[in-house]
Structure 1
Amino acid sequence: MAGSVVGGARLLAAADDTVTVWAMTGERGAGTPVRADDLVVQRVRFADDLTLGRYFAADEPVPDDLVLVRAVGEGELLARSAVGAADDEAVLRVPLEVDPNRVPPDVAAGSVVDVWLTDGAGPVGTPATPAARDSPAKADGPALSEVTVVAAPAYDDTFAVTGARQLVVAVDDERAAEFEQLLGALQDPVIRILQRS
């Protein structure tokens, strides 16, 4: 079936000077694996072959084990510069345990979110200890900004057991260390997830 679709695309491309390339079906953030379900064929006319070479032609599958190295938007053509090998991606996977009422229900793998952190033991937005006040993450902004959710188990997989929803976000080493420092300085850390549209 796929072979006949590709063959038809080639014939049509020859007739109208357009070619088919892969494009993203939805918005995805850095660190997100590129999967077949994330891609759709888009017909485009390029000025020259050099420009075409910057993208993944749809007459061939995208290589396995690629991850995004930057955020991409819905409908954006998949540029070779936007991906890297999974082994080369220098990120840590940081698990978060979140009250289901503090995370939008449609947050899923690939969502781009801000992670806000407050101390349930004190006034909202006020760190409870001097260590927290001196942390690199500020109380008046997100503890992690524009991070990608790389795993988001269904409510049934986590909520029924722990009463919380687990999310896993991709964070570089430096920001992960800052986040852990802030988290450890709070008496009763409360995590809230804000989803970017």
Structure 2
Amino acid sequence: MSRDLGIPGASRSAPSTATSPPPGSPAGSPPGARAAPPPATRAARPGWRDPRLWLGVAIVAASVVAGSRVLASADDTVAVWVVGQDAAAGTQLEAGDLQSRRVRFADDADLARYVPVEETLPAELVLTRGVGAGELLPRAAIGSAEESDRAVLRIAVPEEQVPAAVGAGAVVDVYLLDESGEPAEGGQDAAADPGEPVLAEVGVLEAPGPGEAFSGTGNRTLDVAVTEEQARAWFEARGRVVAPVVAVVQVG
């Protein structure tokens, strides 16, 4: 409805009370109605052909390989056998005589000189030469009982004629004296000087400690490893002396 304002040709229109639908509302929607939200779309999972999947697999694989190489380079040591205490040639080693130690070797040739823990040892392992305490077990120093050329010779020595430090693994010279205290003639070499030992540089396999003499004789009994030639020389020298006195000198 319009009202005359007294001005020719002019009139004021009454304000309209009709409301317009909100923007985006579908045509024909009643006034004041909200627009419907767009339909939700579900994200599709990447398929096996998706290059992102293969890129992730490649990254994980490269990480595993790199980690393995780092760990391998960090510990390139090898476990080998070590002799726990001094052992003379002819000693039969047992499991308790050996210890495991990890060692880094310069090359395979250096490793081949020693016995790794993973290697099976002979049932009767005998040393063909003396080995010191803490020394790596050399492959060249071991053999079986059948391969050993050593025999065990037991000698009784007056306790005062044996250094207190002599024990298993020691290397000694054995002298044979007559009643006068002079060296008996005839050692390992028939032409040897009488002052030379009858048994030179033989290894002690077993020896009681000082004060542990047997049978109240005042003697210490030593088991030494000798060759057949040394054993023969010992008994020949003993046969030439009426009342022999044995003396021992530790040399190693």
Partner of 2:176: 117
Q: For residues 155 and 123 of structure 1, what CA distance do their matches in structure 2 show?
A: 22
Q: CA deviation at 1:151?
A: 2.6
The residue correspondences of 1:1-197 to structure 2 (distance < 5 A) are 15-59=74-118, 62-120=121-179, 122-125=180-183, 127=184, 132=186, 135-153=190-208, 158-197=213-252
Higher relative contact order, chain-length normalized (CA < 8 Å, sep 6+):
1
- Secondary structure of the residue that 1:30 maps to in structure 2? coil
CA change 1:171–1:136 in 2 (3 A) is farther
TM-score (norm 2): 0.62
Deviations 1:93-152 (A, max 9, x none): 2111111111123322322111111112x3523x4xxx7599455322211111112232
Q: For residues 14 and 140 of structure 1, what CA distance do their matches in structure 2 show?
A: 59
Give the greater-gyration-radius structure (CA).
Answer: 2
Is contact 1:28-1:112 (8 Å) kept? Answer: no
Pick the structure with more helix per residue.
1
RMSD: 2.7
Contiguous gaps of at least 5 residues in structure 2:
1-70
Q: Which residue identity is paired with 1:15? A: A
Q: Which residue identity is paired with 1:119? A: D
Is contact 2:90-2:151 (8 Å) kept? Answer: no
Q: For residues 213 and 219 of structure 2, what CA distance do their matches in structure 1 show?
A: 7
Amino-acid identity (%): 42
Q: CA deviation at 1:14?
A: 6.4
